[in-house]
Structures are given as C-alpha cells and as structure tokens.
Structure 1
Amino acid sequence: MASSDYILQLVRQALDDFDDRPLDVSVRRAVRIANLVGDTRHAIRLSLELRPTGGDRHTNGEISRMLMADSSTWGSGTGPAEQAVAQYMNDRKMTSPNGEDAVQMHSLTELEFWDQELRDLKGRGEPVNYEVDLASRERNGNIVARTRHLTFALLCSWERRFGYTSINESIFGGYRVKVDTLLAEGVPDLLQQFNAVYRRLQEAAEASPERDAAEELSQAITTCRRILKVVVDHVLPPQEEPSASGHSLDDAHHRNRLYEFTKQAIESKSQNKLTDVMIAGLYDRFVAVDTMTNKAVHAAMALETANLCALNTYIICGEIISLHDLQADASDTY
C-alpha cells in the first residue's frame, strides 16, 4: 500500500502542474491517485472521461473492474461503479440535432480533436453550420469545464486529507521506532511474533468472502496473548508469594502480575488508573474476537476488532517495557 507521504507528493505534483498541462494529463493523474487511495467511484468516474468511444464492451467492463477497490460490488446496481456511470451519464446529457435525448460519449481527447477540426474547417473557409457549431462547442466546453472543476476539487480534497494523514503517520512512525527499539533491546523475539500477527491479519483481510477467516483471526489473537505474557514475564517474573492484596502472581496469573507491575511502577494514582483501564480494554478485546469468531459474526467486524487488538497490544507492550526501563533507571540512580 502506498504511503500517505507518497500519495501527497503525487497530489501536489498534479496540482502544481494543473494549469500548465493538458486536462487529460491531470485526469489520468487523478485516476491513479483515486485508485491508490481506494476511491473507486471517482477512479471510474474520471476514467470514463478518458475512455474513447466504441471498443469491446467486455474489455471496457474489465478495465473498470481493474480500478475497483472491491470488485465484488460490480453489477450490484448500487455500488460505486454504478454510481460513477450514473454521474457520468448525467453530466454528459445532451439533445441531438434531431431533438432526441442523447449522451455525449467522446473522450476528452476526442472532444479536443473535433473542436480543432471545426476550427480548421472554418479556417479553410469551408461551409459550417454555425448554429450547430456554436451549440456543439458550448456543450463540449461545459463538459470540459465540469471535468476540470471535478478533477481540481478532488486533488484539493486529497491534499488536505493526506496532509493531515502524513502528519499522523509521522507522529506514529516516531512512536513505532521507539517501541521497536524497546522491544528489540528488551525482548528481541517479540518483533518476529508481531510480524506473525500482522501476516495472519493480512491473510484474513485477503480471504475471499466465501472463505471463513476465523482461524487466521484466532491465531493472531492467540499470538497477541502470548506476546503480552512474554512482556509481563520480562517485567515481573512469576512469584510464589501473592501480592499485598492477596492476588496470585504465579505463571498462570500473568494478568494479576501486569496490574501489580503497573501499580509498583507508576506513582501517580490517576496515571495508574488510566493504564489499568487500557489493559482491561485490551483483555476485553481478546475475549470479543474469540466470541465473534466462535459465533461467525460478520467477518469485517471481527477483522476490525482483531486489528485493534494487535495495535493495542503493540502500544501497551511498548508502554510496559518503557515503564520497566524507567523503573530500572530510577533504581540505578538510588
């Protein structure tokens, strides 16, 4: 998947060149960007402005499906592809010379060609129906202007959207580098285990609608549980003696040990409470995914919850190891 920085670079290049390049160049760039960001409706809508008249109907359909983020909606009647075609037809409505309703199907390149042909005819002094010529040029000019306006507006909206996203990715990227470093130094094997989680989630995301991805999701969550236990074992190994509040701290009760560790590591009661809430929320998500996969809940919902589990496991593991290192530094100071 293209990064937000890369997409933002493409958008800004298209905007910077917008007034200096032919319109079809900007439209092709916009189709590419829409395809990268998964905006099926606008990818197909603008691609129709570039499609020459005629051609094999099956091939034309295949080309449109190539631009769809989810081709399973093709032919549904209400999907993004159908919406794009309907908008295109509405924008291209016209009245033919014999007074019948019609649709101007020529591409932007063809419209430019025929406009130049009319100019050349008049330049050579050949007879031209000026009334028809004026109506045609006005109609085609409106089509070009609408396409130019849509393309420019989309590029502007993507610039704003990916400008924000790029900042967010930069912030999270800095945090990811920090957590990866903590994991590599504290519990090196965890990075490989996180990669295994992401592979399982990717396999689940790529599974066909007909295939149940519950096994991949279950494996991903099981690995998340193991990762969290390894981190807890690292910061507070199993103990035979219970906590001061009477909770068992043996190997099987790693959740008790995690709460005990945060209580010891964080002096601020408010911060301690916040961390405990985050940990409780993570365990609740573990249970939620198990319930969803066992009950065959809608795959997209289960996948979204599993993704949140993986992300929260990663963040909480980073916080736990960071707290452990701070605690160790404080002990060394004294």
Structure 2
Amino acid sequence: MTDAQSEAEHILSLSRELLDDIELDRIASDKLLLKASRLARLAGSEEIRKWISFEMQGYSGSDDLALRYMTLTGRWTDYEAKKGYWGPLAQQEAAIETQKARIEATKLGSMSGENMVFVVDRLNRSHSALSASINQMSGVRSRVLGMIHNFVSGVYYERQFADVAATTFEAYKKEVDALIAESAGDVLVKIPSVIARLREKDEEAVSQALTTCRRILEGFADAIFPPSDETYELGGNTLSLDASKHQNRINVYIALRTESSSRRTRLRQNISNLFDRVSTGVHKEVTAEEAYSLFLNVYLFLGEVLNLGAAVSDEIEVC
C-alpha cells in the first residue's frame, strides 16, 4: 500500500468516525474540534482548519475570515458595534451552563422575601435576558456543529466515491490492459511515457505527450485493422484504407462490430475529436490539464473499441 492510499484510507476512516461522533453526540465539543481540525489538515481544507482554530482559541477582530465566520455562526449581538460572542465554542458552552444555573438558583430564591411583586418582576426580566442569551449561544453551538457536520460528511462522501471510482477504474484498467496487450501490444508500452511527460507539465513535455497519444491511436489502427489498397462503403461514403487513413480504418472496425448507429456516431465523433486535439498543429492550445484528459479519453476509447468483440455487421461492402 502506498503512502497516498494509506492517507486516503485514514481520511475516510476519520471522517466516518467523526460523523458518528456528531450524530450520536458521543464526545465533548473540544475533542470534536480537535478531530475535525486534523481532518481538515489531512483533506487540505485550509479555510476550515483556520475556522476551527477560531472555535478552539477565540475569534480575532482583525482577521477577515474570522469576521466572516462570526456571521456564519451567528455570533453577533450587535454587528454595527462589532459586539458578539468572540470567545471559543467551549466558552459559549460554559456560559450556557452558568446562565442555566443562575436561572435555577433565582427561581429558588424567589419563593421568599419582601416586596414580592417587585422581586418577581425583576426576576422575570432577568430570566428573560438570560434565556435570550442562552438561546443565542445555543444557536451558535448548533450552527458550529452543523457546519462541522456538513464539512465532515462532504469529505466522507467525496472520499467514499473516490475510493469506489478508483477501485472500479482499476478493475477496468486491468481488463483494458489485457485487451490492448492481446490486440495491440506495441501500443501498451507507449502509455507509461505519456504519463511521465504529463507529470512534467511544461509546454514541451505536453507537446511530446500529445504526439505519443497520436502515435498510440495510429499504432492502434494499424494493429486492429492493417492498411490495405481496398476501399469500403460506409454510410454512403467510399473510405480509403491505405496506411495514412487511420481514422477510416478504426471507423470501419467499429462499424463491423456494432449494429447501433448512435454508438457508431458517438465513437466516430470521439475519434475525430481525439485526432484533431492531439495533432501537432494545435499543441500550443492544449493545457497540461486538458492533455491529461485527452490521454484518459484515448485510453478509455481504446478499451471501448476492443470490448466491441467479434464482427456482427454485414452492411459494409468491399470495393
């Protein structure tokens, strides 16, 4: 197992554990914040990591991100005067418990004493103020936990999907590699050089990678449908199959192996676009990111064509 795989599995495991922590309310908020901060660091979510640091250490009035999250977590009591709950989440939770205790204590004390009406009125006003403060701080806590839950669930489902996608692609890759090795072995040895070039990301490396992609497509055409002096009638057109007509030969191979006109059309358009984008004349227009997408498209195209199987069509005539 590579370091990248180990880290990916750790992120998935940690995010799953955190979801249970939040949904089952099984650990204190300070421990939850520490675990969420670790997840943010591992997942590369710098903004979330910094926000969680405010929740652990308190907010700063001179930090734009802190001010934004003061709003997102509902901490302002007077936005214009910049008054609000600036302290860490643990401080808000402690204040909630303290104020609840004050309400309980004054309820007991209100049962005796002189000027009962005055005392009761004052206590009611005090209780109302304390309750309002408790409600707002409880709202802050709920928002914080809700935002952490959204972040953690996002990481979890993203990584879970990535794990499924990676496993699926790896299985498909093994199948495609076997098909290429059997039908066009010379093509398979060119693939590692494309990947190596694309990792360099500079303009010359991208150009060389695209040139190799074009050679892969041409070598693939020669392997599955060798050139000849014959022509084929396809869709009302007479196609030459000489050594320079790589697209024609691939299209004939496809047409012989699928009765679906829509699939033929899609594959024909795909191979036309691929040849166009990997041609030397447009290298300067292709970014490293697009070049990598083109390479993957080429690879998946080879796999789909080789999976077509034996010839099923008799609609193509030799001329």
Tell me if both proteins adopt one fold, taking TM over 0.5 as the criterion.
Answer: yes
Q: Give the secondary structure class of the aligned counterpart of 1:223.
A: helix
Matched, 1:284 2:258: no
Matched, 1:316 2:301: yes
Q: Greater Rg, structure 1 or structure 2?
A: 2
Q: Give the secondary structure class of the aligned counterpart of 2:226.
A: coil
C-alpha distance in 2 between matches for 1:189 and 1:313 = 15
Where do residues 228-247 of structure 1 align in structure 2 (5 Å cutoff)?
A: 228-239=217-228, 241-245=229-233, 247=239
Q: Which deviations, in whole Å up to 9, do the C-alpha atoms of 1:221-267 show, x marking residues without a partner?
A: 1121122222222212233x132345443333322222232233335
Q: Give the secondary structure class of the aligned counterpart of 2:274.
A: helix
C-alpha distance in 2 between matches for 1:51 and 1:184 = 58
The amino acid of 2:306's aligned partner reads I
Question: In the alignment, is the contact (CA less than 8 A) between 1:218 and 1:290 conserved in 2?
Answer: no
Residue 50 of structure 1, aligned match among 53, 56, 66:
56
Question: In the alignment, is the contact (CA less than 8 A) between 2:43 and 2:155 conserved in 1?
Answer: no
Question: In the alignment, is the contact (CA less than 8 A) between 2:258 and 2:264 conserved in 1?
Answer: yes
Alignment-derived partner of residue 31 in structure 2: 25
Structure 1 stretches lacking a partner, 5+ long: 62-81, 120-129, 205-212, 329-334
Alignment-derived partner of residue 248 in structure 2: 256
Question: In the alignment, is the contact (CA less than 8 A) between 2:184 and 2:223 conserved in 1?
Answer: yes
Question: In the alignment, is the contact (CA less than 8 A) between 1:50 and 1:107 conserved in 2?
Answer: yes
Q: Give the secondary structure class of the aligned counterpart of 1:244.
A: strand
1:284–1:7 CA distance, 2 compared to 1 (3 A): farther
Q: Which deviations, in whole Å up to 9, do the C-alpha atoms of 1:49-73 show, x marking residues without a partner?
A: 234679xx9xxx9xxxxxxxxxxxx
The amino acid of 1:178's aligned partner reads E
Matched, 1:15 2:19: yes
1:198–1:290 CA distance, 2 compared to 1 (3 A): farther
Alignment-derived partner of residue 175 in structure 2: 178
C-alpha distance in 1 between matches for 2:188 and 2:8 = 24
Matched, 1:271 2:263: yes
Where do residues 1-334 of structure 1 align in structure 2 (5 Å cutoff)?
A: 7-18=11-22, 19-51=25-57, 84-90=65-71, 91=73, 92-94=75-77, 101-102=82-83, 104-108=85-89, 141-188=138-185, 190-204=187-201, 213-239=202-228, 241-245=229-233, 247-287=239-279, 291=282, 293-294=283-284, 302-323=287-308, 326=310
Q: Which deviations, in whole Å up to 9, do the C-alpha atoms of 1:270-325 show, x marking residues without a partner?
A: 433332222223223335x953x535x8xxxx3443232111101111123334x6
State the number of aligned residues: 275
The amino acid of 1:12's aligned partner reads R
Structure 2 stretches lacking a partner, 5+ long: 101-122, 313-319
Question: In the alignment, is the contact (CA less than 8 A) between 1:26 and 1:151 conserved in 2?
Answer: no
Alignment-derived partner of residue 208 in structure 1: none
Percent identity, aligned pairs only, is 27
1:220–1:153 CA distance, 2 compared to 1 (3 A): same
Q: CA deviation at 1:220?
A: 2.1
Q: Give the secondary structure class of the aligned counterpart of 1:20.
A: coil
Q: CA deviation at 1:116?
A: 9.0
Question: In the alignment, is the contact (CA less than 8 A) between 1:232 and 1:258 conserved in 2?
Answer: yes
C-alpha distance in 1 between matches for 2:245 and 2:290 = 24
C-alpha distance in 2 between matches for 1:327 and 1:146 = 61
1:259–1:13 CA distance, 2 compared to 1 (3 A): same
TM-score between the two structures when normalised by the length of structure 2: 0.66
